[in-house]
Homo-oligomer: A and B are copies of this chain.
Amino acid sequence: MRVDEPVTVGIDIGATKILIGSVTRQGDIIHHARYGIDLSTESSLKGSIYRSIADYIHGRREENMSVNIGIGVFGHVDFEQGDWLGTMRVPGMEMIRFRDDLKQRYGMNVAIDNDVHTAALAELHLGKGREYRHFLYVNVGTGIAAGIISDGRLIRGASNYAGEIGHTFVGRDMEQCMCGSSWCLESAASGGGMINRAIRWISDYPDSRLAPLIQSGNITSVDIFREARKGDPLSMKIHKEFIWSIGIGLVNLVNILNPEAIILGGGVMRDSWLLKELSDFIYQNTIGVSRRGLKEISLTELGPQVTGLLGAACLAWDYEKIG
């Protein structure tokens, strides 16, 4: 790559770290740094973020840096205003006015969005989404959310909250979700939901191979799927409900939005045998025209470590066009 190639700074603010990197238009990360994040109070959070940015920007003055920064965060974002509206992980957090603050400090233009939206933009510009005009990026991790790309554009909705599919209906009289409903996709198919089910249902399956994992507090969805394949009845029950529920959630999305592809990310969907089961369910249960329009269901090829950073840079590029 040419050393004078323009680069965009992407900032990936996660619950455990801040990643900042310089990204070329080809998606090469030519430099990056990792910083700690302090979620204990709003002021410590703000301090850790702004110190990281100051350190990174200070060290990269020589670069041919774009005047646009992209930031991806967890929680709710006001995309129009460039504000981070908050997250339940930081109690009592008020909004952080990223756009105003960074414009004032560095004269840079700032686009900010949530991490699932930025991951969808990473797919659109640098991943499998380059082949499609209409696709869904679906993250199945601790929670479940989607980035909906229609006609090459991210669907944001009225409050930048489009894609919150974790609370769609997959069955009556399930356990109550933190949202208040007792029918949520997340309860049956997120990593957190499946672990809760294992804990809730273990008393009916005292001999389950999950019992010692639950007792040690170290159970993950990977354990549940591994034991399901080995025939553990509790794990099989959770696995079966997982496929059925995420299947229903995605069948609904395909019927509603008629995408060309579903690209799956997040920690839960890493196994290719789960992908096969899920694909079969979706192709068996979607309506004809939309099924025929669905060309691909696959796992993301963007690495989980870099998706946030790339997505943040892609957000800045998108924002150049529309901002």
Given contacts A76-B289, A172-B171, is CB(A255)–CB(B165) below 8 Å? Answer: yes
Main secondary structure of the interface of A (DSSP, over half): loop
A290 touches which of B164, B252, B259, B260 (Cβ 8 Å): B164
Tell me how many residues of A have a C-beta within 8 Å of chain B.
Answer: 46
Q: Is the CB of B289 within 8 A of A258?
A: no
A253 touches which of B146, B153, B256 (Cβ 8 Å): B256
A170: chain B residues at CB < 8 Å are 169
Smallest CB-CB separation from A261: which chain B residue?
A: B158
Q: Is the CB of A164 within 8 A of B258?
A: yes
Q: Is the CB of A293 within 8 A of B258?
A: no
| Distance between Cα atoms of A289 and B145 in the complex (Å) | 14
| Distance between Cα atoms of A179 and B251 in the complex (Å) | 13
Least distance between A227 CB and chain B CB atoms (Å): 26
Chain A, range 183-241, C-beta contacts under 8 Å to B: 183
A162 touches which of B133, B181, B258, B294 (Cβ 8 Å): B258
Given contacts A155-B150, A157-B150, A287-B179, is CB(A167)–CB(B260) below 8 Å? Answer: no
| Distance between Cα atoms of A294 and B258 in the complex (Å) | 24
Q: Is the CB of A158 within 8 A of B133?
A: yes
| Distance between Cα atoms of A251 and B165 in the complex (Å) | 11
A155 touches which of B155, B292, B294 (Cβ 8 Å): B155
Q: Is the CB of A134 within 8 A of B157?
A: yes
A283 touches B (CB below 8 Å):
no
| Distance between Cα atoms of A194 and B159 in the complex (Å) | 35
| Distance between Cα atoms of A129 and B20 in the complex (Å) | 41
Q: What are 13 pairs between A and B in contact, CB < 8 Å?
A: A146-B256, A148-B256, A150-B155, A150-B157, A151-B153, A155-B155, A155-B257, A159-B258, A159-B292, A160-B258, A169-B169, A252-B256, A253-B256
20 extra interface residue pairs, beta carbon distance < 8 Å, beyond A150-B156, A164-B289, A253-B256: A134-B158, A146-B256, A150-B150, A157-B259, A157-B290, A157-B293, A159-B290, A159-B292, A161-B287, A161-B289, A161-B293, A162-B256, A164-B258, A164-B290, A165-B256, A169-B169, A169-B170, A169-B251, A179-B287, A179-B288
